[in-house]
């Protein structure tokens, strides 16, 4: 079956109130029941019924969508017993008789809630994000520009059903409880998106971020030489990738693991939320665990990784003291731990780490950190001059005796000076990195003032 035909033939989740009435032998209808539907397609619907109905029996089904009343006669083609705390029945009904105008509207509605129909004509070249905002057509974000597609606006009802169809039962339950979720959506071929689903003024909306189709090595991303040296020269300790949201930290983490995967034999465990890049084992054995799917939390997975004896532990993001504590402990026990943290520079990254812990423990944590920290790479993405690409600028903080003393004493204001004085061993400031980009004609000079 052709790809698009296959998508159009599928059923869609449809947790919507419907009313059904059984057709009796005398031609009249039984009392109406209001129940929840489970799924829908252009040929039929399934819903929870209060009783078992005979196969081939007739029912009238009605519901409202976008202030449009949908009603049709159908034939029961499937009955299932529903197990659970409230046992019941599930009826599958095939549409037999429906008004032509209603059928046309309903078929068009089913077409609209199919995300594949929305994405199929898009040009993904240089696309960074696709924003789905209720009441608007898809909004495309490319480097330095935002544009609204010239297509039909997506209504609030269509948006909600379309996006909910991307969730499995467990993630759907999580979203209802937490009002947001993150996951990876495999579209087709080598096109994948990291999806953030959220609620905005009561409306379900989403951002789709395009994931590159191949994992580049650090030097291919434009990262400085010390990044690859940090990985090759250290078999234990802690390496942190810092940066603001959207600065490419996840891409850099994947790049570092792929570099290892080409260079040395190691057992690697990654803990991610969600898993964006899929690694294929080369010289390494790589186990990728997804928070929410394979494990309950970063901290739980990291703690248990201590018993799984990895050589390298990647923690996608450090968000809490429990995860930070485990990361430091793992580094102390002889693992190479690589992780990311939200921070604008090395000083802020260290401030954030220490703020996880109460005042009476901070001195102790700084001492531990000074002994196991190998380096912090802070990155920022800048639009390339006269181009539709982004380039990376980086601050590189490496550990030497002076930097270990500064970290141990918590005297973070000295970090910029030490970085500036140690360019000969690979350290560099963000300003120096941007200046190099300007000198090469890659970015505009105004980025030095930002």
The Cα–Cα gap between 274 and 346 comes to 25
CATH code for the domain in which residue 207 is found: 3.30.450.90
* Shared-domain flag, residues 236 and 317: yes
CATH at 303 = 3.40.50.300
Residue 55 domain-assigned (yes or no): yes
Domains contained in the chain, number: 3
d(CA 295, CA 272): 10
Residue 309 belongs to some domain of the structure: yes
- Tell me if 93 sits within 8 A of 47, measured CB to CB: yes
Q: What is the pLDDT of residues 59-77, one digit of tens each?
A: 999 999 888 999 999 999 9
Check whether 186 has a pLDDT greater than 50: yes
> Which pLDDT value is given to residue 304?
92
| 156 located within any domain | yes
Mind listing the pLDDT tens digit for each residue in 256-279?
A: 999 999 999 999 999 999 999 999
Return d(Cα 148, Cα 370) in angstroms, integer.
49
The predicted structure's pLDDT at residue 143: 78
Please indicate, yes or no, whether residues 258 and 403 belong to a single structural domain of this protein: yes
Same-domain pairing of 141 and 125: yes
HSE on the CB side for 232, CA within 13 Å? 9
* Model confidence pLDDT, tens digit, residues 327-350: 999 999 999 999 999 999 999 999
CA-CA distances (angstroms) from residue 128 to 213, 246, 396? 13, 10, 26
Among 175, 191, 211, which residue terminates a domain?
A: 211
Residue 5, pLDDT above cutoff 50: no
The pLDDT of residue 2 is above 70: no
Whether residue 147 sits in one domain with residue 82: no
Provide the pLDDT for residue 446: 74
Residues 429-435: what's their mean pLDDT?
93
Asked if residues 88 and 48 have their Cβ atoms less than 8 Å apart, the reply is: yes
Residues 231 and 341 in one domain: yes
Q: Is residue 106 part of a domain?
A: no
Q: What is the pLDDT of residue 87?
A: 64
Mean pLDDT throughout 86-113? 92
Entry pTM: 0.82
Judgement on whether residues 305 and 173 belong to the same structural domain of the protein: no
Report in angstroms the alpha-carbon separations of 175 from 148, 182, 198, 336: 27, 9, 8, 34
Structural domain contains residue 243: yes
Are residues 328 and 349 part of one domain? yes
Tell me the mean pLDDT in the region 139-147.
86
Residues ≥6 apart with Cβ < 8 Å to 76: 53, 54, 55, 56, 57, 58, 59, 91, 92, 93
Residue 176 has pLDDT above 60, yes or no: yes
Last residue of a domain, one of 99, 132, 153: 99
The answer on 172 and 277 residing in a single domain is no
189 and 270 housed in the same domain: no
pLDDT grade for 136, boundaries at 50, 70 and 90: very high
Q: Which of 162, 193, 211 corresponds to the end of one domain? A: 211
Range of the domain at 412: 218-449
Whether residue 199 is contained in a domain is answered as yes
Q: What is the pLDDT of residue 1?
A: 37
Give, rounded to a whole angstrom, the gap between the first and last alpha carbons of the chain. Answer: 53
Residue 417 belongs to a domain: yes
Residues 394 and 342 in one domain: yes
- Asked whether residue 409 is assigned to any structural domain, the reply reads yes
Instruction: Identify whether residues 355 and 386 lie together within a single domain.
Output: yes
State the chain's mean pLDDT as an integer: 91
Residues 78 and 151 in one domain: no
The average pLDDT across 396-418 equals 96
Question: pLDDT tier at 4 (50, 70, 90 boundaries)?
Answer: very low
Tokens representing 160 are 């909600």
DSSP 8-state symbol, 344: S
Give the model confidence (pLDDT) of 112-122 as tens digits. Answer: 999 999 999 89
């Amino acid at each position: 079956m052709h790809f698009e035909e296959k998508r159009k033939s599928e059923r869609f989740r449809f947790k919507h109130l419907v009313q059904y009435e059984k057709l009796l032998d005398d031609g009249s209808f039984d009392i109406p029941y209001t129940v929840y539907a489970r799924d829908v397609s252009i040929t039929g619907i399934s819903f929870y019924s209060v009783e078992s109905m005979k196969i081939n029996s007739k029912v009238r089904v009605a519901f409202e969508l976008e202030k449009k009343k949908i009603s049709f006669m159908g034939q029961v083609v499937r009955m299932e017993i529903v197990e659970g705390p409230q046992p019941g029945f599930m009826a599958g009904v095939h549409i037999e008789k429906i008004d032509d105008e209603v059928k046309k509207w309903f078929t068009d509605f089913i077409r609209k809630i199919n995300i594949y129909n929305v994405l199929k004509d898009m040009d993904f070249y240089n696309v960074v994000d696709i924003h789905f905002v209720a009441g608007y057509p898809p909004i495309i974000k490319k480097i330095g520009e935002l544009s609204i597609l010239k297509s039909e606006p997506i209504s609030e009802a269509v948006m909600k059903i379309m996006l909910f169809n991307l969730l499995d039962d467990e993630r759907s339950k999580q979203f209802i409880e937490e009002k947001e979720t993150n996951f990876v959506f495999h579209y087709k071929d080598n096109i994948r998106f990291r999806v953030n689903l959220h609620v905005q003024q009561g409306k379900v909306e989403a951002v789709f971020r395009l994931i590159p189709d191949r994992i580049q090595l650090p030097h291919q991303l434009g990262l400085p030489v010390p990044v690859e040296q940090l990985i090759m020269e250290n078999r234990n300790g802690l390496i942190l990738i810092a940066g603001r949201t959207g600065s490419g930290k996840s891409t850099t983490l994947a790049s570092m693991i792929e570099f290892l995967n080409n260079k040395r034999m190691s057992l690697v465990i990654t803990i991610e939320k969600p898993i964006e890049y899929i690694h294929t084992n080369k010289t390494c054995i790589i186990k990728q665990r997804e928070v929410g799917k394979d494990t309950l939390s970063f901290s739980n997975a990291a703690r248990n990784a201590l018993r799984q004896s990895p050589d390298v532990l990647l923690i996608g993001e450090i968000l809490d003291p429990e995860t930070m504590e485990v990361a430091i402990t793992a580094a102390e026990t002889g693992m190479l731990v690589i992780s990311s943290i939200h921070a604008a520079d090395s000083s802020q990254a260290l401030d954030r780490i220490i703020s996880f812990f109460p005042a009476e423990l901070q001195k102790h944590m700084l001492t531990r950190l000074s002994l196991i920290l190998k380096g912090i790479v802070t990155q920022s993405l800048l639009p390339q001059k006269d181009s539709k690409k982004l380039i990376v600028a980086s601050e590189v903080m490496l550990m030497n005796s002076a930097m270990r003393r500064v970290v141990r004493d918590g005297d973070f204001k000295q970090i910029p000076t030490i970085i500036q004085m140690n360019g000969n061993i690979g350290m560099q400031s963000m300003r120096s990195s941007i200046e190099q980009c300007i000198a090469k004609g890659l970015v505009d000079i105004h980025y030095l003032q930002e």
